[in-house]
Amino acid sequence: MKKILSILFGASLLLATSAQAEGMIGIKYGTGELDATKKAYTAGDTDYASASKAKDHEYGAIFAELAIPALEGLSVGLEVIPFTATIMLENPKEAMTGAELSDHTTLYGQYMISMGSGGVYVKAGYASADIGTITQTRNSGAETPITTINSQSDKLEGPMLGIGFQSNELGDGFVARLEATYTDYDDISVTTTSNGSTSVKKTAEAELTTLSISLAKTF
């Protein structure tokens, strides 16, 4: 899906430079709930320790869309969230672990159904973000009890689905949108050792639900 959307976005960009293609550039403000679950499996043991947490984040994003001239109502877009979100998971039997998301980018296709002075649209795409896996331990007796002892980076990716409403009543080429999206990221697994010998596999699952408003200028 990511490759197909990349090709469509690139083709639309080329057409926009040589024809009267339609498009828009906009800004977005919204709130998102990031749900994360961590499971730790010890080698030779079928049981696992689990911890889950949901955290709300406000965010801002910028996006650009280009219409596909040959297909009425269909467009491709690119959205970037230039901010960082952090969520920590605490297990009473283990050190705290968490994730830090940054450079969240979504490439998507969108289909608009016109209705009067606006329209309803659906969208599907592929999201990608840099994720830093943070491990922390409690340092007893210290004024600051949490100390970071390990950090590693990975890529968090997964499909995105969304639905929204667009109003064209602002005039001068400006449009407003109300939108909801859901992203189901692929699992991430890492294997660590405890006490120098015991192997522990840790799997992280994450999903993101957002509700946003946006303002864009068409061209």
Residue-level pLDDT at 22? 83
Classify the phi-psi angles of 4: left when phi > 0, otherwise alpha if psi is within -120 to 50, otherwise beta.
alpha
For residue 92, what pLDDT band results from cuts at 50, 70 and 90? very low
Residue-level pLDDT at 189? 64
Cα gap 46→4, rounded to integer Å: 40
Residue-level pLDDT at 191? 56
If one compares 43 and 33, the residue with the highest pLDDT of the two is 33
Start-to-end CA span in the chain (Å): 27
Mean pLDDT of 155-164: 92
DSSP string, 41-59: EETT-S-EEEEEEEEEEEE
Q: Return the closest-CA partner of residue 173 out of 115, 116, 121, 216.
A: 216
For residue 129, what pLDDT band results from cuts at 50, 70 and 90? confident
Q: Give this prediction's pTM.
A: 0.74
Highest mean pLDDT range out of 21-25, 91-95, 152-156?
A: 21-25
pLDDT > 70 in the chain, percent: 59
Cα gap 30→81, rounded to integer Å: 11
pLDDT averaged over the chain? 76
Residue 181 pLDDT greater than 90, yes or no: yes
Residue 147 pLDDT greater than 50, yes or no: no
Mean pLDDT of 22-49: 75
**Helix (H), strand (E), coil (C) string for 67-120:** ECCCCCCEEEEEEEECCCEEEEECCCCCCEEEEEEEEEEEEEEEEEEEECCEEE
Cα gap 165→63, rounded to integer Å: 16
User: What residue spans define the domains of the chain?
Assistant: 2-218
At position 100, the amino acid (one-letter code) is: E
* Residue 188 CB neighbours (<10 A): 18
If one compares 111 and 4, the residue with the highest pLDDT of the two is 111
* Residue 127 CB neighbours (<10 A): 22
Give the sign of the dihedral formed by CA 169, CA 109, CA 160, CA 61.
negative
Give the sign of the dihedral formed by CA 93, CA 37, CA 191, CA 95.
negative
If one compares 175 and 55, the residue with the highest pLDDT of the two is 175
- Evaluate whether 5 touches 126 at the Cβ level (below 8 Å): yes
Q: Which fold, 2-218? A: Porin (2.40.160)
Mean pLDDT of 188-208: 62
Residue-level pLDDT at 40? 61
